[in-house]
């Protein structure tokens, strides 16, 4: 009886270490960082630190769930942004330009799918190659990496709405993020595609021997990853009204970190949408709190790295203890 109770308690600690870490840093910055609890600052955390990173991290969650990784999510963001800006400058309707942007990002996924599912290159090497190819392509398309600006007088109101608009008082980027998170959770948890994707990440050979076309699942996953990441390209461009080459790569490391932090929320250490969202929120709160505390930017990066190590180490240690119990 005592052993069973200890085992249950240990598993509970393992799963909710991430929640405890989030509560701890929130309380710490509430006490130490001036203005942290103000409504304006908390909204800033959600819009500026959370929303876009959450979408990219959700995309990364699909890749990791399938047993791989996607180092080119930033490239998908950039290609979507470039296509969106180019079509708006060409005078195309915003809806058509947005679809073109999503298609531009999805093309990155198609390229990855050919390399990974078609040729058989490992996801790490394939997407790393795509990252380098995409960076060079952007340099060529912009005459050496020059930003592409939209003239202030020529920016349609519908274009601004995606980045600055509100619906019932809620910023549009947050609403889009909520839709992406909800959709990703439904797909991974309640659809056949999601279950097969997770199974492929756990033991690909079982999926293959079950008669399922693993290459097709892998290809669809990487196209989906890039399409989700492309949404960020649209929102980012609408927010700043400019396309900056390779700016999407700024999301890459934090997206990977949030995804793996999120695995501590699952009893078996698997990628999951709720955990990824909590991981993004944790990174956003820490980044905002350290900024308000007046720390140098580079120390902020050190603090974020130490936090990722700490959460992963605690989660791993707790799962190990739970397995022994």
State the DSSP H helix or E strand holding residue 166, giving kind and residue range, or none if neither. strand 166-167
* Residue 151 backbone class (left: φ over 0; alpha: ψ -120 to 50; beta: rest): beta
Mean pLDDT for each 10-residue chunk of the chain (325 residues)? 47 69 90 90 94 97 95 97 94 94 97 95 96 95 89 81 91 96 95 89 74 85 97 95 92 93 86 95 91 79 80 72 61
Report the pLDDT value the prediction gives residue 5, as an integer from 0 to 100: 47
Q: Which of 173, 163, 174, 177 is nearest to 240 (CA)?
A: 163
Predicted pLDDT of residue 322: 59
Rg for the chain, CA atoms, rounded: 20
What's the CA angle centered on 313, arms 309 and 316, to 5 degrees? 140
pLDDT (0 to 100) of residue 144: 86
Assigned CATH topology for domain 20-320 = ABC transporter involved in vitamin B12 uptake, BtuC (1.10.3470)
- DSSP codes, 279-320: HHHHHHHHHHHHHHTT--HHHHHHHHHHHHHHHHHHHHHHHH
Supply the DSSP symbol for 116.
Answer: I
Q: What is the pLDDT of residue 113?
A: 97
Q: H or E segment at 112? A: helix 94-113
8 A C-beta contact, residue 84 and residue 155? no
């Amino acid at each position: 009886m005592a052993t069973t109770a200890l085992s249950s308690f240990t598993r509970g600690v393992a799963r909710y270490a991430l929640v405890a870490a989030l509560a701890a840093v929130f309380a710490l910055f509430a006490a130490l960082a001036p203005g942290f609890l103000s409504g304006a600052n908390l909204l800033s955390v959600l819009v500026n630190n959370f929303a876009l990173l959450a979408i990219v991290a959700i995309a990364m969650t699909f890749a990791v769930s399938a047993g791989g990784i996607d180092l080119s999510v930033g490239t998908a963001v950039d290609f979507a942004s470039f296509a969106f800006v180019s079509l708006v400058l060409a005078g195309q309707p915003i809806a058509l330009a947005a679809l073109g942007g999503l298609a531009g990002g999805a093309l990155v996924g198609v390229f990855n799918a050919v390399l990974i599912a078609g040729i058989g290159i490992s996801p790490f090497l394939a997407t790393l190659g795509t990252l380098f190819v995409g960076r060079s392509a952007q340099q060529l398309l912009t005459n050496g990496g020059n930003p592409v600006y939209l003239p202030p007088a020529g920016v349609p109101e519908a274009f601004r709405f995606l980045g600055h608009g509100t619906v019932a008082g809620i910023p549009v980027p947050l609403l889009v993020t909520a839709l992406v998170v909800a959709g990703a959770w439904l797909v991974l948890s309640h659809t056949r595609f999601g279950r097969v994707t997770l199974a492929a990440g756990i033991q690909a050979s079982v999926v293959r021997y079950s008669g399922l076309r693993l290459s097709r699942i892998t290809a669809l996953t990487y196209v989906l990853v890039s399409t989700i990441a492309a949404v960020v390209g649209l929102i980012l461009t609408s927010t700043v009204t400019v396309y900056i080459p390779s700016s999407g790569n700024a999301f890459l490391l934090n997206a990977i970190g949030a995804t793996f932090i999120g695995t501590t929320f699952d009893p078996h250490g698997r990628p999951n949408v709720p955990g990824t969202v909590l991981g993004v929120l944790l990174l956003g709160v820490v980044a905002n709190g350290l900024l308000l505390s007046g720390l140098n930017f580079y120390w902020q990066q050190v603090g974020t790295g130490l936090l990722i190590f700490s959460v992963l180490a605690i989660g791993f240690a707790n799962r190990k203890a739970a397995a022994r119990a």
